[in-house]
Structure 1
Amino acid sequence: MDKREQEPQWYELARKGPFPEMKFTEEAAGEVARQIGMDGSSLNQVLPSGRRRRVIRLRILSAAAVFLLLFGAGALVLGGDGFGRSGGFNPLQVSSAGIIDPPVAEQADLTDEGLRATAEQVMLEQLGKKLPFVSLEPLVEEGEILAEFKDGDSFAKIWFETETGKVVRTYMDTFFAPEQIDSKFIDEAMDQLRKAGYKGEFTVTALHHSVHYGTNADEQGIQTDDSLIAEEGQIDYENGVYRSSTFKMGENEVSAEVKQEGLKAIKLLREKGTDHLYSIKRTVAQRWDVLVLTYGESQYGAATVLMDYATQEIIQVLDISLHDEKSSDSRIRGEQDTNLLNMDKAKLQLAASAIADEMFGIRLEDYTFVKEMSGIGTIAFKSPDGATVITGSYNMDGVFYMMQQTDAVE
């Protein structure tokens, strides 16, 4: 029997996520794949072209960021194993502030058995469960030892400093079935979802729990990411703090004008293609509230429109069907990257203007090309007052497949 035929049903739901076409996450703003990333730290009022617009602070896209791999975060348990009184896993009982203590001098067990035991303890504390042991691999050039554990889609990697036995990095990811989740956490998450305006049913299928430590020099302590998943949406936490709620909406819950504006925005990128509105979703966080309209014949629809929920103004438009898949051959890929980088910026600005001027109600010709915000296959322009950035991603033919308006990152 195939391995996946033996897995519980929630495993497949959690593996896909409730919204494979959803295009935003708070951590990786603007990157396009499963989600469109947004910082979410502020919704600012700016004045492009003499009229007030609410725009969301997004990090600038790069062409290579079209396919985002969502790396999660986890937590170090303080005074427990992450399980609540009901016996289920509760991510709110873990903390991201801790640092993994180094071993006491000359007391670390540097044998294979000792390192494995330490790795299992760290895994239990951060991931909330023990996974089957896979390997203990010396990384001679790095001066490290890597302990790996895996069970289906769940995995844990713990890196030790060879000489001291100090844990230098961790990267772990797992799912908990509904019956393994603390009911108090589910209740708290549901309260957040209701506050966000959701009134429908929410049948929990899984909790996705991820953790990493020491993988980013800018981060201090253990980083966590938790998503309570249902077919109807998901509720996200970062470092044990509520971040956002995402849920489906019916077509009758948005106006005809909203759907018309979404379709009009897509048509600015391309004339032909599917016009079928497959789904509408709303994501609500403390300082932003957005709609994502997905167009296509399935949940993996090629085109999406991101707009402000309150003002219905366009934030980003993407049609991934216009994106060129780069070659796996390094030589050909290098040539492709060179061609993208060498495209005439003036011609690109003219092509971008034809889209952005109508989409955002601006005059892109008055904007200044911003070199430091541009990557391979991406071009960015800053407004005359410096408050707004227009970013576009284009393919090998110079055709734009993504256009977005954001406030400038300070």
Structure 2
Amino acid sequence: MDKREREPQWYELARKGPFPEMKFTEEAAGRVTRQIGTDGSLLNQVLPSGRRRRVIRVRILSSAVVLLLLFGAGALVLGGDGVGRSGGFNPLQVSSAGIIDPPVTGQADLTNEGLKAAAEQVMLEQLGKKLPFVNLEPLVEEGETLADFKDGDSFAKIWLQTETGKVVRTYMDTFFTPEEVDSKFIDEAMDQLRKAGYKGEFTVTALHHSVHYGTNADEQGIQTDDGLIAEEGQIDYENGAYRSSTFKMGENEVGAEVKQAGLKAIKLLREKGTDHLYSIKRTVAQKWDALVLTYGESEYGATTVLMDYAAQDILQVFDILLYDEKSFSSADPNTNLLDMDKAKLRRSAAAIADEMFGIRLEEYTIVKEMSGIGSIAFKSPDGATIITGSYNLDGTFYMIQQTPATAE
């Protein structure tokens, strides 16, 4: 029997979801880019070369489409009745500040079985479940041993110092069915959703739990990302604290001016393509309240427009069909993309941004430290606003956005 046929239904639903990831992402790559450093060194140990190249490319893109990833990526829908149970898994009980204590000197079991057992204990504490063991991989040059566990789409990778047994870093990801989740956590999350203004049905279908440790020097302690999933949307937590709520809206819940603004924005970005509005979502957090308009013929919409919910100002426009894969697969894409004529890029960006955002981009200055491979950033004369664009080797912009200069 094929592996997919043996998997529970919610695995396949998880791959699709109501807010699926962009086609160029893979297994929540948006989260990966936040969890690893900027030089790709950890990717060499975490991912196989093929996927590593894709994730590096995603990191390049995500530097310019951070709003889109923040508002939509990683949302999934899974099967279940959403009841939860008292005493089930509660992600808030996984410490987001704790340091994994090293073993007492001279008392650690440094055999293969001992390292495996130590990794399994960490997995139970952080991931909340025990996954099937795959193997132990010696990393001789690093003086480490990688313990690898996997079950379908769930996985755990735990690196230990071979000579001491100390946990160096972890990277783990899994899903919990509703029956496995603590009902108290579900109740708390639902309360946050109501405070965000959602009044409709919200049938909880699963919890997506991701945790890592020691993968980024800027992060102290255990880091967690959790999404409580429903067919209607998602409620997100980060390091045990509520982050945001995202939920679907009907076309009758937004005014004609919103739809007109969305159409105008996508026509400024590209001349051809569908105008069909497939879905509308609203995402609410402490520092933002935005609409996400997706245009296309399916959930894999080609174009996405982000708009401030109250002011109805355009925040970002992104078209996946304009993205050219070849721009990031040439012999030396980094050099080619970095060496492009900045004056021409400014003119191309201005043709879009001036009308879209009501500005004069020629008055903005290029911000080198905020520009990257395949992206360019401009700061307003008063220093309050940043315009960022992502482009291909031919100079075509497939994403443009405006953010406050102080935005995190």
**Length-normalised TM-score, structure 1:** 0.83
Which residue of 1 is the match for residue 206 of structure 2?
206
After TM superposition, the structure 1 = structure 2 runs for residues 107-256 of structure 1, keeping only pairs within 5 Å, are 107-256=107-256
Match of 1:366 among 360, 363, 367: 363
1:53 aligned residue: none
The code of the aligned residue for 2:156 comes to A
Matched to 2:169, the amino acid is: R
Correspondence 1:1-400 to 2 at 5 A = 1-21=1-21, 62-63=60-61, 86-326=86-326, 332-334=330-332, 336-400=333-397
Q: Is the 8 A contact 1:14 1:205 kept in 2?
A: no
Mark the CA change 1:324 to 1:279 in structure 2 (over 3 Å): closer, same or farther: same
Q: Does 1:406 align with 2:403?
A: yes
Secondary structure at 1:189's aligned position in 2?
helix
Q: Secondary structure at the match of 1:107?
A: coil
Structure 1 residue 62: deviation in Å?
4.0
Q: CA deviation at 1:382?
A: 0.9
Bigger mean CA deviation after superposition, 313-322 or 86-95: 86-95
Matched letter for residue 198 of structure 2: Y
Q: Secondary structure at the match of 2:359?
A: coil
Secondary structure of the structure 2 residue equivalent to 1:95: coil
Provide the rounded CA distance (Å) in 2 between the counterparts of 1:258 and 1:13. 31
> Measured at CA, do residues 393 and 327 of structure 1 come closer, stay the same or move farther in structure 2, by a change above 3 Å?
closer
Percent same amino acid at aligned positions?
82
Deviation at 1:184, TM superposition (A): 1.4
Is the contact made by 2:327 and 2:393 (CA closer than 8 Å) also made in structure 1? no
CA offsets 1:85-115 (integer angstroms, 9 cap, x no match): 8231111222211100011111111011111
Which structure carries more relative contact order (alpha carbon 8 Å, separation 6+)?
Answer: 1
Work out the CA distance in 2 between the residues paired with 1:67 and 1:153: 26
Name the stretch that deviates more: 61-70 or 316-325: 61-70
Greater percentage in helix:
2
Output the CA distance in 1 between the equivalents of 2:152 and 2:29: 23
Secondary structure of the residue aligned to 1:145 is: strand
1-structure distance, mates of 2:250, 2:149: 42
Q: Which moved more, 1:284-293 or 1:86-95?
A: 86-95
Shift of residue 366 of structure 1? Answer: 0.6
AA aligned to 1:255 is G
Maintained 8 Å contact 2:280/2:291: yes
Q: C-alpha distance in 2, partners of 1:295/1:142? A: 47
CA distance in 2, matches of 1:304, 1:85: 37
Distance 1:33 1:170 in 2: 16
More deviation in 371-380 or 302-311? 371-380
Question: Distance in 2 between the 1:14 and 1:204 partners?
Answer: 13
Q: 1: CA distance between counterparts of 2:64 and 2:379?
A: 22
Change (3 A) 1:11 1:205: farther
Looking at structure 2, the residues matched to 66 and 387 of structure 1 have their Cα atoms a distance apart, in angstroms, of 18
Distance 1:373 1:201 in 2: 41
The 3 A distance-change label for structure 1 pair 293 and 257 is: same
**Residue 298 of structure 1 aligns to which amino acid in structure 2?**
S
Q: Is the 8 A contact 2:85 2:183 kept in 1?
A: no
Cα 1:325–1:306, aligned 2, differ >3 Å: closer, same or farther?
same
CA distance in 1, matches of 2:61, 2:243: 27
Gaps of 5+ in 2: 35-58, 75-83
- Is the alpha carbon distance of 1:343 and 1:246 closer, same or farther for their aligned partners in structure 2, counting shifts above 3 Å? same
Aligned residues: 365
Separation of aligned partners in 2, 1:230 and 1:7:
20
Partner of 1:248, secondary structure, is: strand
The worse-fitting range, judged by mean Cα deviation, of 337-346 and 110-119 is 337-346
1:34 CA displacement: 7.1
Q: Is the 8 A contact 1:11 1:206 kept in 2?
A: no
Per-residue deviation, 1:22: 7.6
> Aligned partners of 1:126 and 1:17: how far apart in 2?
25
What RMSD, in angstroms, separates the aligned Cα atoms of the two structures? Answer: 2.6
Deviation of 1:326 after TM superposition, in Å, equals 2.9
Q: Distance in 2 between matches of 1:10 and 1:134?
A: 23
SS of residue in 2 equivalent to 1:211: strand
CA offsets 1:282-310 (integer angstroms, 9 cap, x no match)? 00111210110000111111100011101
Mean Cα deviation higher: 62-71 or 4-13: 62-71
CA positional deviation for 1:343: 2.0
Cα drift, residue 65 of structure 1: 5.2
Report the TM-score, using the length of structure 2 for normalisation: 0.84
Report deviation, 1:17.
Answer: 3.9
